[in-house]
């Protein structure tokens, strides 16, 4: 049996997905028809996990990532949902790092103009940079 889980992301991003997979020691590959136990699924990407017999299939739907993995015990005897949670956590961490990088870039640009800034990290991983221009 295969299981589908949706990663609630702020949009799907191939580069963040690639970084998340690499952070875990996994490999992101081009998708297509992905063979799982007893069936195939159509996915944009496949993630090869060394410990798993079948890859994790990743598709995009409505700006979110759907990940499908095989839940058959012959898949190396591992609890595959743990892999899905690891992927989701790594993706979220990469997204937060990217948000922080972009915020730092915005702050750097603003301070070069002589403006004051503050940065707020939100629970959802987004970053808000407030800029006060001179005379505003």
The mean pLDDT value of the chain amounts to 82
Give domain status of residue 51, yes or no: yes
Q: What is the mean pLDDT of residues 72-99?
A: 75
Residue 75 confidence (pLDDT) = 47
Give domain status of residue 136, yes or no: no
For residue 62, the tally of other CB atoms under 10 A from its CB is 7
Q: Which domain holds residue 89?
A: 2-97
Per-residue pLDDT of 13-39, as tens digits, reads 889 999 999 999 999 999 999 988 778
Give domain status of residue 66, yes or no: yes
Per the model's pLDDT, the better-predicted residue between 11 and 89 turns out to be: 89
Is pLDDT at 112 greater than 70 in this prediction?
Answer: yes
Residue 4 confidence (pLDDT) = 57
Query: What is the number of domains present in the chain?
Result: 1
Residue 77 confidence (pLDDT) = 45
Give domain status of residue 27, yes or no: yes
Beta bridge partners of 2: 70
Give domain status of residue 9, yes or no: yes
Give domain status of residue 119, yes or no: no
Give the CA angle between residues 99, 127, 86 to the nearest 5°: 50
């Amino acid at each position: 049996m295969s299981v589908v889980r949706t990663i609630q992301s702020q949009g799907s991003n191939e580069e963040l997905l690639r970084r998340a997979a690499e952070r875990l020691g996994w490999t992101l590959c081009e998708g297509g028809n992905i063979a799982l136990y007893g069936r195939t699924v159509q996915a944009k990407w496949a993630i090869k996990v060394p410990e798993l017999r079948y890859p994790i299939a990743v598709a995009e739907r409505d700006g979110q990532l759907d990940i499908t993995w095989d839940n058959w015990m012959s898949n190396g005897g591992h609890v595959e949902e743990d892999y899905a949670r690891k992927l989701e956590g790594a993706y979220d961490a990469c997204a937060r790092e990217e948000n922080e990088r972009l915020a730092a870039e915005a702050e750097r640009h603003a301070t070069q103009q002589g403006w004051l800034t503050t940065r707020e990290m939100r629970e959802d991983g987004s970053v808000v940079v407030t800029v006060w221009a001179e005379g505003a």
